[in-house]
Chain A
Amino acid sequence: MSTTLPRPETTERPNYLNVDYSWKSWLFTTDHKRIALLYLFSITAFFLVGAVFAGLMRLNLLFPDGLFEHDTYNKFFTMHGVIMVFFFLVPSIPATLGNFLLPIMIGARDLAFPRINLLSWYIYIAGGLFAVLAILKGGVDTGWTFYAPFSTTYSNTHVILAAIGVFVSGFSSILTGLNFIVTVHKMRAPGMTWSRLPLFVWAHYATSLIQVLGTPVVAITIVLLMLERILHAGIFDPNLGGDPVLFQHLFWFYSHPAVYIMILPGMGVVSEIIACYSRKGIFGYGFVAFSSVAIAVLGFMVWGHHLFVAGQSMYASMVFSFISFLVAVPSAIKVFNWTATMYKGSITFDTPMLYALGFIGLFTIGGLTGLFLATMAIDVHLTDTYFVIAHFHYVMVGGMVLAFLGGVHFWFPKMTGRLYPEMWARLAAAIIFVGFNLTFFPQFILGYLGMPRRYATYAQEFQVLHVLSTAGASILGVGYLLPLIYLSWAWRKGERSSQNPWQAKGLEWEQSPTPPPTFNFDVPPVVTERPYNYSEEVEVGGY
């Protein structure tokens, strides 16, 4: 029995945040919501590190003769890629928003394996420490793709340290995926059938399948890489009878599906946001749900499109090219269904919606340019140029990062119990959109004109486009900093939120308090209605 006066904050109801403030309760928590926040802080830190490397690259590229030593520039783009791919994008939405929301969205009290969830974060941090160690010891210069035999034989940087970091972080990804799969199969509340699952859950389920099936292959590839670097037996070294293309096959078997890990959760977020801010159920729910799984499955059969000019047989390349065309179809299905959802919807342009709309436009551009690259004849001209870089930044940044920011804003009240300042948020979204396009659209042109990627210097005629791109990057940087500032401020000082400030549908909004208690629900939920039940009558073609 306490004899001290209660602090003003404790007059609020107990929730997962205020139940215990000690650092032990955070570092040893098994609450999926706290683990989500641990991840959120960690990946934000890694994002900033990766962004610094991007800034250094763009600085170098202001000048045709470069600014830094070539070897140093190689380290910049390698660390930028390694950190952004493995320590930011792959965990981003699943480990933060997925961890936080998935159990609540299906009506569960936690994930199936809460301690494995915590272990997953520990492993992520351990992997991250190896990556940081590699940076501190001077960085790696192989590119995030670690191609052999340069990585195994000729590079004199700390390849093994970085490789261990990636290897270890892969297990974090596997455990998260495993947890999500079992949770979705076994922990749904009564009445939560598969066809009532929010599309966010479908997207994360599909992502988890990829994480579980693909990551082990890159893990073994990295093991072989490290063994080869030590023993020089020749498995990937043509001088010793090995085939470097084998490395590429094994590497891309994971790394292509990995890009779908890096986009599917974002698509799930966009579905939730579009439905809420159109006040309409997602058009073609079944198609959108199925398309997530289709992307996951087809995504495993296209990796050879990274090997078109590497010496892969033309016949295998044709098969990979054809399936690469196919995999664009489910993505397009989603875009059409989101558009149809908005048609005759009651649209408001709040910040999450701005991000979701930005996603649709920018992801479409990125996705379509992927088709150019999937066309073998065009790829011969465009591969390893800035066109590829622009393509994947349009889907990764214009797509996934925008979806991430949109999701963080959308569920910010749910996670913190506070509202963010809407005007600042819209301003930041606009700055990000402008900065992003200014950074990366010129790169399409650069690539088409022949500027190769991973080059520290370039021909004079490319300078204007590079300067535009660097200018855009500066603006983009400002746009990223703004949410960092106002969201941190809003967490402590923002206006308190009601349970459902957006009047959104879904168990997390309607049946779980804001912020949720440790076990998510005061009363165990029972699901009786269809998802996205925004209007009473069934819309034409709607769910």
Chain B
Amino acid sequence: MTHQVVPVRTYVAVFAALIALTIATVLISGIDLGEYNFIIALTIAVTKGSLVVWFFMHVNQSSSLTRLFVGAGFFWMLILLMFVLSDYLSRGWLPGPRWW
């Protein structure tokens, strides 16, 4: 599994990137960009999460089986979110009374 020892500077570099991205997301959230606030914040979060998964959790050294399972996990959560959202977002497409 983790056959190679990762140099300390790699971990520190990832750490620095994560902190930088955190600062960025906090600063950007203070600016009103409308819908883009959400997209940018989520993109940064996905980037940060990917850095943790790839470097800290050693997926960069892992087998394709492990990577398949990691991908499957996020994909399955997306199935949940997307299908549930598809209901709520498309409810307004039909004329009818709204309860909310």
Contact = CB atoms under 8 A, between A and B. Distances in A.
Please indicate whether A and B come from the same complex rather than being unrelated chains.
Answer: yes
Interface of A: 185, 213, 217, 238, 241, 243, 245-246, 249-250, 253, 300-301, 303-304, 307, 311-316, 319-320
B36 interface: no
B49 to A, nearest CB: 18
B23 interface: no
| Contact count band on B | 10 to 19
Given A249-B87, A304-B87, A319-B86, A314 B79 contact: no
B93 A300 contact: no
Contacts of A307: 87
Most buried by B among A246, A303, A313: A313
B83 A315 contact: no
Given A185-B65, A238-B99, A313 B90 contact: yes
A303 B86 CA distance: 13
B93 A313 contact: yes
Contacts of A314: 90, 93-94
A185 B100 CA distance: 48
A465 to B, nearest CB: 36
15 contacts: A185-B65, A213-B72, A213-B73, A213-B76, A246-B84, A249-B84, A250-B84, A253-B80, A253-B84, A301-B83, A311-B91, A312-B91, A313-B88, A313-B91, A313-B94
Contacts of B99: 238
A245 B84 CA distance: 10
A249 B91 CA distance: 14
A315 B93 contact: yes
Nearest to A318: B90
A440 B84 CA distance: 34
A245 B91 CA distance: 12
Given A249-B87, A316-B87, A217 B93 contact: no
Contacts of B84: 246, 249-250, 253
B76 A300 contact: yes
Contacts of B83: 301, 303-304, 316, 319-320
Contacts of A320: 83
Contact of A315 (B72, B79, B80, B86): B86
Nearest to B88: A313
Nearest to B79: A300
A246 B83 CA distance: 12
A246 B79 CA distance: 15
Interface string B51-90: 0000000000000010000001100100110011011111
A302 B54 CA distance: 32
Nearest to B99: A238
A217 B80 contact: yes
A177 to B, nearest CB: 13
Contacts of B86: 313, 315-316, 319
A253 B84 CA distance: 9
A315 B65 CA distance: 36
Nearest to A246: B84
Contacts of A313: 86-91, 93-94
Contacts of A245: 87
